[in-house]
Every structure is written in structure tokens, then in C-alpha cells.
Amino acid sequence: MALISALLGRGLQHFSEAFPGARDCTSAGMQRAIRDWFRLYYAEEAGPEEDACQRIPCAVVSKLQKACFAEYEAEVGLVGSKGAFLARCQEELDGQRKKAMQLAMIGGEAWLKPVPGKDRFYWSVVRRDAVAVLGRGPSGRVTDLLSSEQTAANGGVYTLLERRRVDEAGFLTLENKLFYSRDGAALGEPAPLGSLPQYARLAEEYTYPEPLGCLGMAEVRMPLENTVDGSADGVSVYAAAAGLIHNINHNEWLLDQEFDHGAIRVIASDDLLKKRRDESGRVVSRELPAGLFTGLDEDPETVGITVFSPALRDASFLARKTEYLRNVESVLGIKRGLLSEVEAAQRTAREITSSEGDYNLTIQDLWEVWERADREALRLCGVLGQAYGLCGGEGFDPEKDLAISWGNGVLYDADKAWAEIMQMVGAGLLKPEIALAWKYGLPWKTPGDLEEVRKLYMPELEHLEGEE
């Protein structure tokens, strides 16, 4: 799917020919930022005078993802054949949740695309740099999206372009176009969809008979405000610290230079650092590396070359690196020491309960992001499953029939809360039936509810009351 990014970088000439009138609504500055976020994470192309060995984006994404899903559980409460079908879909979705959240943290947005199977939907995660956003609605949700898929076959490369458009009434239209080229560097010539067996059943254009209200994919979008261009595009979880991360990479490069050169600086005449040619054009002297040699504008015959070797400045460099990491923590609103204290142990969601302020809110926001995506994904499974004949038409309410628990996480400590409730029971401030109903999620507002709790969890108390 990386072809879309390549096409964007070449001015959309093939893209516009495939879909006349279509235009990517992402600004040029936003496209540069997205490419930079992915380069920082994957360290594919380190910038000049940068060393990405610290991999700060990887540390940020990994820490947040671990804290988010440390004690996550999801369960479909609907019974019957449709409940079993949705439970299988949820099982597959759970297998992709970490990848989806990580890619959303990196690029600001990602999409969970359902792929129909024999008895369930599988999930493909679509990353932000692999799509072209052609339209957004008033709320910022994508209403027109183009993605690509490449397959090597028949001595060349086939490229499938899939466009998804949803109109104001919520009806989704799919367009599929296949192209063939020898090297895959360009789209090439149009080819029939039946050229490859996996695309033989695809329609060139199809509109779903029932309104889906979305692109047929569940969106995973970071809740951060766009600080790149102020648009509705999602931004990376470390977008605000991108400049700092580049400075850290440059700082690491400088430190490497210090150790590689043994902290030696060679002071030489400025003339020695310049290339000089004779009348025939032949180079008679070559430029010396400026990182190692310091030039002085003096007479080379009187100054010559002097070696200056101070002590290694590792302490000052390392102190500045630590301060950079602390600045990243402050900018992103994560717990102090999570990145800057290299000796610190890994922390789970349970262990971060001592955090204050922004870090707790960061994790809570991530929980809300995944809950919305999870419920939307299962809602699509219910609708599309019926359309594909994979499940029946029983009703499914994603808000009521999908239970998501984040465990003993950062919003509250369940053990501590239970201990406080038991203290209230012991002090006579709360009925034990209400405490048990809270613990096991049972109703307690009516006398009948409390009686049911006593029957289920308080048999010994009933026995004692009978003896009295």
C-alpha cells in the first residue's frame, strides 16, 4: 500500500488520471509532517547530521500502548448465532488492536478494514501514509478515501486502486481499478479486474443498498489538536515533540562525532580546507572534513597544523540528552522519568496510578479512542455480516452488547475502591447488599434487587437470620 505515498510524491499524475477530478485534500505541509513522523519512527532515512539510535518515537508509542492495553478485556454479550459470529470477529479484532493503535499513534489516523472470511471478518490495518484523503465531512471524518494494493504476477506488478465514498445519506460506494506495469514504479496500463483471481469477484463500482454512515472501515484517530496546519487531519502522538526528537538525533550524532574523533580537533590553515586546482583543472589539494578540522584565516606557512585534544565532553552531552528527554515528556504530557530515567522498570497501567495530571488523561483518551473504534468495528460486522450472509439479522447494540474492561488501570484502583467500600460497610454507612451489587455489576435500587443479591452472595447471613 506504500504506492500511494510514492504517487503523492510524484505530483499525482497517475492518480488524477485514474480518477479524474479527484484531489487529495491534505495540505502540502501536512503531507511533509506525516512523512516525517513515519521516518522518525522507522528510522528509514536519517536526516543529515542525525543519528536515530535513540528511537524516541518507538519508546513513546511502546510505553503508551503497553499502558493502554495492560489489562484490557472485551466480551460480546449478545447470545445466539449472531453473538457467536460477533465474538469471532472481536477475537480477530483483538489480535490487531496493538498494531492499529500503534499505527494511529504514529500517523495520527489509521483504519480497520473488515475482510470477509468463511465464518467471520478478519481485519486489515490501513496506515495513514498509505492512503490519499479525498474528502472530509463537517465533523472531520473522512468521507472519500483512496488506498492501493500491489501484487507481483505475470512478470510485472498489478496495482489495485480502491476508492471509498460515502454520500450525505450514508450510502457507501466502492470503486475498484486495476493497473499493470513491468516494474511497479508507476500505475501502468489499465487491466481487467479478472486478471488476478483475488480480484475476479470485485465490481468496478458498487453501492451498498443499506446506508452504513461511514467508509465501511472503523477509524482509529488520535484526539490531539492538529498543530501542523490546523486542519481536521489527525496528528501523531509525538507530533508536538518532532522538533525535539530531531534535536536529540542531532545531539546523538554530535556525541558520536566526539567519540569517533577521540575528542581531537585539528586546527589548520583555512587554505587547506579548500579544493584547489591547477591550470589544467587537476586537484592539487583536497578539502579536509570540517567536523574534524578547524580552519584559521592565517598564513599556512606560519600556522601549519596543530592538534588540540581536550577531555571527552560526555558529561555535558549526556546531561543535555536527559534534558531533551524530559522536555519530550513534558510536551507530550507523559509521566516524568518514563523516558528520561533509563534505569526505570517497565510500568503497566496498574503501576502508573501514581501518575498525576496529563499522563492519566493521555491514557484515558487512548482508551476512549479504542472503545469508539472497537464498537464501530463490531457495528459494521453486524451490518456487513448480514449483507454477506455470514450472520442473521438479530439486533446488536454495540454500546450495550459489547463489554470493555480496562482492568485495574489508571482511572481508578479497583482493589483500593473495594477496600474503601468495605470500610463504609463496616462503619454501618452502607448496606453489604449494595456493596456486593457494585462489585458484581448487579442492580440494587429496589428491595427485590437487594433480595436477589442476598440469595446469590449472602447465604450464611440468611442462615443466621433464620436462627435468630
Q: What percent of the chain has pLDDT over 90?
A: 39
Fill in the amino acid letter for 320. Answer: R
- By CB atoms closer than 10 A (0-12, 13-18, 19+), residue 275 is exposed
- The pLDDT value given to residue 305: 55
Among 163, 125, 324, which Cα is nearest to 238's? 324
DSSP tag of 241: G
Distance CA 408, CA 365 (A): 16
Distance CA 111, CA 398 (A): 18
Residue 108 has pLDDT above 90, yes or no: yes
Rg for the chain (alpha carbons), in Å?
30
Once rounded to an integer, what is the mean pLDDT over residues 171-180? 94
Q: Per mean pLDDT, which range of 5-19, 146-160, 433-447 is the poorest? A: 5-19
Distance CA 403, CA 412 (A): 18
Distance CA 373, CA 125 (A): 12
**Tens digit of pLDDT for each residue in 434-455?**
888 888 878 888 888 888 888 8
pTM value surpassing 0.85: no
**Tens digit of pLDDT for each residue in 239-273?**
999 999 998 888 888 877 776 766 566 666 655 55
Distance CA 372, CA 110 (A): 13
Return the sign of the alpha-carbon dihedral for residues 404, 409, 411, 415: positive
